[in-house]
Amino acid sequence: MPNRPATLLVITGLPCTGKSALASELERTLRWPLLSKDEVKEQLFATLGWSDREWSRKMSEASYGLVFATARKLLMSGTSCILEGNFRRTRQQDFENLVRNVDIRLMQVVCKAPGDVIVQRFLARAQSGARHPGHVDMESFAELENELRSGMSVPVAIGGTVMEFDATELSTGSLVTFAKELLSSGLTPNP
């Protein structure tokens, strides 16, 4: 069997569009390392503490730096991985640095849902107390509300194959079905 380049599978979209749920299902299905910006951010909160929106932004920047550096190491070693986060256009340079001089296959999944569904999920999550308080979701809502209501998730301009995941009805069945669809596109699980 010919040696295939490692695959970078990017899972992106607005907050509350099912990125984390889909990435976890794909991690289980593919047995690839999952690098999640919010998981790293919560580890930083646990170590460095948390306070306000400005601190949360700083921890996001640090988290992105760690996630991209780790992904680059994995890809350079030939290990396929999943990168999950709300990758806005401001992350373009990070992606360019990540793929520079590395022979990889790029795939991207853009998670989408209608704006009213996203807003409802965001507020429910913020009020549930299930997420680390360092994310300061209610403080973030005022600045994110218009973007959330738009429902406009766009792919990162990195090339490769782009697929959409409709997270309107986020269920285990829809996650498993989409994971199978990705496998049929040629992704292979680790042994």
CATH number at residue 108: 3.40.50.300
Contacts of 156 (CB under 8 A, 6+ apart): 10, 12, 87, 89, 91, 92, 95, 108
Q: Is residue 173 part of a domain?
A: yes
What is the C-alpha separation between 16 and 180, in angstroms, rounded? Answer: 22
pLDDT for the residue numbered 191: 58
- For residue 158, name the pLDDT band (cuts at 50, 70, 90): confident
- The domain tally of the chain equals 1
- The per-residue pLDDT for range 60-118, each reduced to its tens digit, is 999 999 999 999 999 999 999 999 999 977 788 899 888 888 888 899 999 999 999 99
Residue 132 lies in a domain: no
Residue 83 pairs in a beta bridge with 10, 35
pTM here is 0.90
Sign of the alpha-carbon torsion through 103, 179, 190, 73: positive
**Cα 17 off chain centre by:** 10
Domain membership of residue 87 as a residue range: 6-113+153-184
